Amino acid sequence: MTFKHKSVLLEETIENLDIKPDGIYVDGTLGGAGHAGEVCRKLSKKGRFFGFDQDADAIEAAGERLREFGDQVTIIRSNYCNMAEELKKRGVTAVDGILLDLGVSSYQLDNAERGFTYREDAPLDMRMDQRQERTAADIVNTYSERELYFVIRDYGEEQFAKNIAKHICLAREEAPIKTTGELIEIIKRAIPAKKRATGGHPAKKTFQAIRIECNRELDVLRDSLEGMIDLLNDGGRLCVITFHSLEDRIVKTIFRKCENPCTCPPDFPVCVCGKVSRGIVVTRKPIIPTEEEIEANKRSKSSKLRVFERKIV
């Protein structure tokens, strides 16, 4: 299967990266290299590009697409949380721009055997990095009812999380839950028929929740953003595209904290905590796709772009 992925908010992201031709740029979620290709086209022969991805298929596809840029491009199979460490190994301690396009690629969703989709029956996998041992099936079959409830409630924002967790635990007493199809049927039984008829696919929120838990997506994001900002040169920018409110909230909160880290009480005449701003939030409100883009690519509908610019005092 060909690695296809339509890059979301492409022009807006490239514009906000404010690319310097001789600069060093990093894509922490390389995918099919749609954003990466555009970044590389704006670089001079002195410019350098590093792309990170956990997915072997993405690495292979990106390698093909970026081949024309030769040794200006370095592709690294690793989670973006290891960015600083991996760049340091290659003699890079500061960069001019970083891009994250979060969530699942169209290829991962469309390739049923990866187990991300609720549209077809496939093994319950959902690993972005297939070197990882834990799969979605492990979560569904080994987590306690309480743990499942919290995962589905917190990461899926699912109204019927309690009932879904209960039904999963009852079903697995009969036999292990091995496929997406089996899980979908269990979820359907746990949601009232009236509610199933509206608001999209009944399994959508639960699948999102299990995928996030399986790949530790929110923990990785929360733990990585400040380190990425610290990697930026003065004037360098971090652009992050999110696809749901949980990710967006984390980005918004951390960007604000990095802009204004002062923890002094509001009535203090001067700051005594000594915490220094790392820069400015460029996007007071997130950039969202145009109607035309949503029409051309339905998956872009929920996307939001936030941008932070490093200012070294």
CATH 2.60.40.290 fits 115-215, yes or no: no
Distance CA 307, CA 236 (A): 10
Q: What is the pLDDT of residues 148-172, one digit of tens each?
A: 999 999 999 999 999 999 999 999 9
What fold is seen in the domain 10-107+217-310? Rossmann fold (3.40.50)
Split at pLDDT 50, 70, 90, the class of 1 is very low
* pLDDT band for position 4 (cuts 50, 70, 90): low
How confident is the model over 280-295, as a mean pLDDT? 96
What confidence tens digit (pLDDT) does each residue in 54-109 have?
A: 999 889 999 999 999 999 999 999 999 999 999 999 999 999 999 999 978 777 77
pLDDT of residue 43: 98
Provide the percentage of residues in the chain whose pLDDT is more than 70. 98
- Distance CA(76)–CA(74), nearest Å, equals 7
DSSP secondary structure of the chain: -----PPTTHHHHHHHHT--TT-EEEESS-TTSHHHHHHHHT--TT-EEEEEES-HHHHHHHHHHTGGGGGGEEEEES-GGGHHHHHHHTT---EEEEEEE-S--HHHHH-GGGS--SSS--BS---SSTT-S--HHHHHHHS-HHHHHHHHHHHH--TTHHHHHHHHHHHHHHS---BHHHHHHHHHHHS-HHHHTSSS-TTHHHHHHHHHHHHTHHHHHHHHHHHHHHHEEEEEEEEEEESSHHHHHHHHHHHHHHH----S-TT-SS--S-PPP-EEES-SS-B---HHHHHH-GGGTT-EEEEEEE---
> What pLDDT, on a 0 to 100 scale, did the predictor assign at position 64?
95
- Domains 10-107+217-310 and 115-215 are alike in CATH topology: no
Hey, where are the domains in the chain?
Answer: 10-107+217-310, 115-215
Query: Which residues have a Cβ under 8 Å from the Cβ of 34 and sit 6 or more positions away?
Result: 5, 6, 7, 10
